[in-house]
A and B are shown apart, each in its own frame.
Chain A
Amino acid sequence: MNGTLSVIQGFLGGLGRAQFFVLQVVASLPSLLLRPRLLVQQLYHVGQLSMIIIVLSGSFVGMVLALQGYRTLIRFGAEESLGVFVALVIIRELGPVVTALLFAGRAGSALAAELGLMRATDQLSAMEMMAVDPVRRVVAPRFLAGVIAMPLLASIFAVMAIGIAGGHAIGVELLGVDAGSYWSQIRASVGMEDIADGLIKSLVFGFAVSWIAVYQGFHAEPTSEGVARATTSTVVISSLSILALDFVLTAFMFK
């Protein structure tokens, strides 16, 4: 009984500290306007980490959706709608979610490990002693780069998946979907609000993953175990948050 209570208390306390931290980070974002180079460096870094896995997984997910969708749709003689099916599923759902999960595993964990190591090797303390605010100098650009990169990566994922699914479905003799109807149905049925929903989702996921990663890394216990724990928690907490947030957002968007 008491144990549960203290776990809940610890969780709420942690949440409070994490909220305070992200407010601090957000408050120091304007200072990046003066030093855009810091942000560009981090964007480049995140892109370099994530681009290949996003492109590859987008292609695979697209091919799987084409196969699965075709099998289901052909039973209803609706294989012409394969394009709409693939596009909507990818843009509204799988694009943001799968991208965010991969982003958490690749860029999020790397970010937590980087900050945790800087904590463990006193680099963050050293900055403080040089009168440089590490939240402003180190955390803010990495956080913002994560938030900006997620929608971009999700878009790349979606383009790859829809393109590959289309190319696959059209190109593979077996499926033989008509190219014209694949693309024209997508153009006719996918609206701006679908794309907006997908972008909102990926922005929210990007915010959540970046927040969790910088918080875990920055507050890691300054030991090797502390860094390892920060990295693992980042991936676990991020993945759960992504799925939970996805449900909440989807529920709102269907209203």
Chain B
Amino acid sequence: MSAPGPMLVRARGLRFAHGSRVIYDDVNVDIARGKVTAIMGPSGSGKTTLLRLIGGQWRPGAGTVEFDGTNVHALGRRALYSLRKRMGMLFQNGALLTDLNVFENVAFPLREQTRLPEPMIRDLVLMKLHAVGLRGARDLFPSQLSGGMSRRVALARAIALDPDLVMFDEPFAGQDPISMGVLMRLIRSLNDALGLTSIVVSHDLQEVLSIADYGYLIADGKVQAQGTADEIRASGHPWVRQFLEGLPDGPVAFHYPATDYAADLLGKAQP
């Protein structure tokens, strides 16, 4: 065994397509151990897809994803499942199990993956819930939680098995400023306190860069910009500028591709 490299996840030459729609065309991404890495890009650019590729749920058309030196997509099902115990993932809306209450949702991975005695499960669950500030909400059902609370419960569930890597899919989308601030601080502080490695997917460049050590901006199937938070902000790259300043036109065009406007107005109605 070689000494662990500085990168927990290394994606090389990734290609991926949904049918004929190419999502990734030769993408390289490194996720550094112990750091918070931001994956940014417009909606539909394939950010969620990247997380599913890293988790081995989907298979790339070409290229490799290595997790801690293991090629994720070369593994058999059993090995892949045991690798996944070292990853936690927060889906965009939390994806809590609707027929279980908060406590049982967080206990779910412990009950499924371990043979711990009940008192220990209880203690572990309450510790994780306390870490996200929801120890008092243990008896609520997912339908009774706000969006931000659901995500915090999902976070508690994602760290239940003490994973090495936690992947957050759009944790801030649709959150009010308070809830967003809570989530941002949680992601950063849990990452540092528990020695995690975090990937945070977001289209809020400003917010996610304030907690990220490193970032990738992905659009049009390629990595458009990468670097530390400051480097990205300072890069002046057209994608970054459009994103940070919220410009309506730029690399992401305001107009859906269409024929010439004047010709369209003057032309005959389509038969």
Question: What residues of chain A have their CB less than 8 Å away from a CB belonging to chain B?
Answer: 117-118, 121-123, 125-133, 137
**B95 touching A122, Cβ below 8 Å:** yes
A121 and B84 contact, Cβ closer than 8 Å, known pairs A126-B89, A132-B109, A137-B112: no
User: Please, which residues of chain B bring their CB within 8 A of the CB of A127?
Assistant: 97
A145 to chain B, nearest CB (A): 15
Count CB-based A-B contacts (< 8 Å): 53
Q: How far is the CA of A132 from the CA of B82 in the complex (A)?
A: 10
B57 proximal to A (CB < 8 A): yes
User: Please, which residues of chain A bring their CB within 8 A of the CB of B92?
Assistant: 122
User: Please, which residues of chain A bring their CB within 8 A of the CB of B81?
Assistant: 131, 133
User: Please, which residues of chain A bring their CB within 8 A of the CB of B88?
Assistant: 129
B141 proximal to A (CB < 8 A): no
Majority DSSP secondary structure for residues of B touching A: mixed
Q: How far is the CA of A133 from the CA of B154 in the complex (A)?
A: 18
A130 to chain B, nearest CB (A): 5
A132 and B112 contact, Cβ closer than 8 Å, known pairs A122-B91, A126-B89, A126-B91: yes
B45 proximal to A (CB < 8 A): no
**B85 touching A131, Cβ below 8 Å:** yes
Q: How far is the CA of A133 from the CA of B84 in the complex (A)?
A: 12
Interface size, chain B (Cβ < 8 Å)? 24
User: Please, which residues of chain B bring their CB within 8 A of the CB of A132?
Assistant: 108-109, 112-113
Proximity string of chain B (110-153) to chain A, C-beta cutoff 8 Å, 1 when within and 0 when not? 00110000000000000000000000000000000000000000
Q: List 13 A-B contacts (CB under 8 A).
A: A118-B98, A123-B95, A123-B96, A125-B95, A126-B91, A127-B97, A128-B57, A130-B108, A130-B112, A131-B84, A131-B109, A131-B112, A133-B81
User: Please, which residues of chain A bring their CB within 8 A of the CB of B91?
Assistant: 122, 125-126
User: Please, which residues of chain B bring their CB within 8 A of the CB of A117?
Assistant: 98
B201 proximal to A (CB < 8 A): no
User: Please, which residues of chain B bring their CB within 8 A of the CB of A121?
Assistant: 93, 95, 98
B60 proximal to A (CB < 8 A): no
**A131 touching B82, Cβ below 8 Å:** yes
Q: How far is the CA of A129 from the CA of B113 in the complex (A)?
A: 12
Q: How far is the CA of A133 from the CA of B52 in the complex (A)?
A: 16
**B112 touching A126, Cβ below 8 Å:** no
Interface centre among A118, A122, A130 (most CB of B within 10 A): A130
User: Please, which residues of chain B bring their CB within 8 A of the CB of A118?
Assistant: 98
User: Please, which residues of chain A bring their CB within 8 A of the CB of B84?
Assistant: 128-131
- Complex interface residues of chain B between 2 and 59 (CB less than 8 A to chain A): 52, 55, 57
A252 to chain B, nearest CB (A): 39
Which among B93, B98, B109 is the interface contact of A130 at CB below 8 angstroms? B109
| Minimal Cβ-Cβ distance residue in A for B167 | A129
B229 proximal to A (CB < 8 A): no
The 8 closest A-B pairs by CB, nearest first: A122-B95, A126-B95, A122-B91, A131-B81, A131-B84, A129-B89, A130-B109, A132-B112
A49 to chain B, nearest CB (A): 14
Proximity string of chain B (58-100) to chain A, C-beta cutoff 8 Å, 1 when within and 0 when not? 0000000000000000000000011011011101110111100
**B95 touching A131, Cβ below 8 Å:** no
B217 to chain A, nearest CB (A): 25
User: Please, which residues of chain B bring their CB within 8 A of the CB of A130?
Assistant: 84-85, 108-109, 112-113, 157, 161
Other CB < 8 Å A-B pairs besides A123-B95, A129-B87, 15 of them? A118-B98, A123-B98, A125-B95, A126-B154, A129-B57, A129-B84, A130-B113, A130-B157, A130-B161, A131-B81, A131-B85, A131-B113, A132-B108, A132-B112, A137-B112
User: Please, which residues of chain B bring their CB within 8 A of the CB of A122?
Assistant: 91-93, 95
User: Please, which residues of chain B bring their CB within 8 A of the CB of A137?
Assistant: 112
Q: How far is the CA of A61 from the CA of B255 in the complex (A)?
A: 63
| Minimal Cβ-Cβ distance residue in A for B83 | A131
Q: How far is the CA of A129 from the CA of B92 in the complex (A)?
A: 14
Q: How far is the CA of A137 from the CA of B82 in the complex (A)?
A: 16
B169 to chain A, nearest CB (A): 9
**B57 touching A125, Cβ below 8 Å:** yes
**B55 touching A129, Cβ below 8 Å:** yes
A132 to chain B, nearest CB (A): 5
| Minimal Cβ-Cβ distance residue in B for A132 | B112
**B82 touching A123, Cβ below 8 Å:** no
User: Please, which residues of chain A bring their CB within 8 A of the CB of B93?
Assistant: 121-122
User: Please, which residues of chain A bring their CB within 8 A of the CB of B113?
Assistant: 130-132
Q: How far is the CA of A74 from the CA of B262 in the complex (A)?
A: 85
User: Please, which residues of chain B bring their CB within 8 A of the CB of A133?
Assistant: 81
Q: How far is the CA of A137 from the CA of B112 in the complex (A)?
A: 9
A115 to chain B, nearest CB (A): 12
Q: How far is the CA of A130 from the CA of B52 in the complex (A)?
A: 13
| Minimal Cβ-Cβ distance residue in B for A126 | B95
**A123 touching B97, Cβ below 8 Å:** yes
Interface centre among A121, A125, A129 (most CB of B within 10 A): A129
User: Please, which residues of chain A bring their CB within 8 A of the CB of B85?
Assistant: 130-131
